């Protein structure tokens, strides 16, 4: 590298982060190209997505975006996979309470753990966010990152969804897998930006979604570096370090990649800020809300749901021209196992 060239580059550069090697780093061949989104019905949603991708990839067009800046951000629960009746991360934590209870005799008499151990999940969760936070925290604390990874992997390989009896890795939306592959075939880099635990999702994001761990952004607890039997280990602590939800989503994106997405996909009011941030830049932008309208194949819920509440998000979608995907009408198939 010539220093003078370098210097010129530094002096002349305009506000371009995300830059050059990110371009080279884009995985154009990750996932099989799915040019036609086969599980999507023809209609306004599919059309909006394909038109947007056409615009930003047309090299001579006014909306062309170089591959380095083709960043797409996806919420996870309710956007890429089912979140009903409880989010997978919460079910995992509830199962961990049972698995860890021999080491915590005090849990048999302390709420919300006592209810969990009696199988009264509704009672355990009656305490709302604080109770959930207590459960997630207690089942994470003092675990090394390696131990936690193994616990998640074992759970994903065995735990069954209470309604479908399927593994959680089968509860992913087939049209969204196709969309991820379609975007990557068009040299987008796909990110998960979820309120869920970052260490939980990273265990399976690659295998399930084709999204490598470093492209997963989520909530995280504090970690402590320590020597265990002379070997360095990272131990999870009870304290939270960052909540990647609502206002936190654009913050999480900034912290991890500093690139502003040009497309964002969510399903609830918790995704509004991420979509605002993605869709208010200059040039072509895409905001998509996945709306749960299919009570038969999945679930139907929106304004009154305690999980995945979608209310203000619908107003924002109308004001800002976001695409609202109607799961019942827009998707030929939701889960791949329906087809068998």
Q: Which of residues 114-173 bind its own copies (CB under 8 A)?
A: 145-146, 149-150, 153, 156-157, 167, 169-170
Residues in region 312-331 near its own copies by CB under 8 A = none
Tokens for 163?
Answer: 């309604």
Task: Return the range that interacts with its own copies (CB under 8 A); candidates 14-22, 75-83, 121-129, 294-302.
Answer: 14-22
CB of residue 112 to its own copies, shortest distance in Å: 28
The yes or no reply on residue 302 touching its own copies (CB under 8 A) is no
Among 136, 112, 85, which Cα is nearest to 238's?
136
In the bound state with its own copies, the residue whose beta carbon lies nearer, of 10 and 106, is 10
| Neighbour tally for 98: CB within 10 Å | 14
Among 284, 273, 259, which Cα is nearest to 15's?
259
What mask, x for binding its own copies by CB under 8 A, covers residues 191 to 210?
Answer: -------xx--xxx-xxx-x
In the bound state with its own copies, the residue whose beta carbon lies nearer, of 88 and 116, is 88
Residues in region 206-235 near its own copies by CB under 8 A = 206-208, 210-214, 220, 223-225, 227, 231-232, 234
| Neighbour tally for 161: CB within 10 Å | 18
In the bound state with its own copies, the residue whose beta carbon lies nearer, of 205 and 293, is 205
Residue 325's SS3 state is strand
Among 6, 44, 99, 126, binds its own copies (CB under 8 A): 6
In angstroms, rounded to a whole number, what is the distance separating the alpha carbons of residues 51 and 277? 21
Residues in region 59-98 near its own copies by CB under 8 A = 68
Among 93, 131, 181, 290, binds its own copies (CB under 8 A): 181
CA torsion, ordered 311, 51, 298, 39, to nearest 10 deg: 180
- State the pairing for strand pair 300-301/71-74: unpaired
Among 155, 238, 161, which Cα is nearest to 204's?
155
């Amino acid at each position: 590298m010539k220093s003078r060239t370098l210097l010129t580059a530094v002096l002349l550069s305009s506000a371009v982060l995300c830059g050059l090697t990110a371009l080279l780093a884009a995985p154009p061949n990750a996932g099989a190209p799915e040019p036609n989104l086969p599980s999507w019905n023809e209609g306004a949603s599919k059309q909006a997505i394909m038109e947007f991708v056409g615009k930003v990839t047309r090299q001579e067009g006014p909306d062309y975006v170089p591959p380095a800046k083709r960043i797409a951000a996806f919420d996870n629960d309710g956007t890429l996979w089912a979140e009903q009746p409880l989010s997978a991360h919460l079910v995992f934590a509830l199962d961990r309470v049972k698995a860890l209870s021999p080491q915590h005799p005090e849990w048999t008499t302390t709420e919300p753990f006592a209810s969990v151990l009696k199988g009264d999940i509704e009672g355990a969760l009656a305490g709302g966010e604080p109770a959930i936070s207590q459960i997630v925290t207690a089942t994470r604390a003092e675990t090394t990152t390696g131990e936690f990874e193994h616990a998640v992997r074992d759970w994903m390989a065995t735990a069954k969804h209470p309604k479908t009896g399927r593994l959680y890795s089968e509860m992913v939306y087939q049209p969204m897998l196709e969309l991820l592959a379609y975007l990557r075939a068009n040299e987008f880099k796909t990110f998960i930006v979820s309120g869920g635990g970052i260490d939980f999702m990273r265990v399976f994001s690659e295998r399930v979604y084709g999204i490598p761990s470093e492209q997963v952004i989520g909530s995280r607890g504090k970690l402590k570096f320590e020597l265990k039997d002379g070997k360095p280990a990272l131990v999870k602590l009870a304290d939270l370090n960052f909540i990647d939800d609502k206002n936190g989503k654009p913050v999480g994106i900034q912290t991890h990649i500093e690139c502003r997405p040009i497309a964002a996909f969510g399903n609830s009011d918790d995704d509004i800020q991420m979509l605002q941030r993605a869709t208010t830049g200059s040039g072509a932008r895409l905001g998509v809300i996945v709306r749960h309208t299919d009570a038969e194949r999945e679930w139907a819920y929106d304004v009154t749901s305690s999980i995945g509440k979608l209310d203000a998000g619908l107003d924002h979608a109308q004001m800002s021209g976001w695409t609202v995907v109607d799961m019942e009408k827009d998707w030929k198939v939701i889960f791949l196992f329906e087809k068998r």
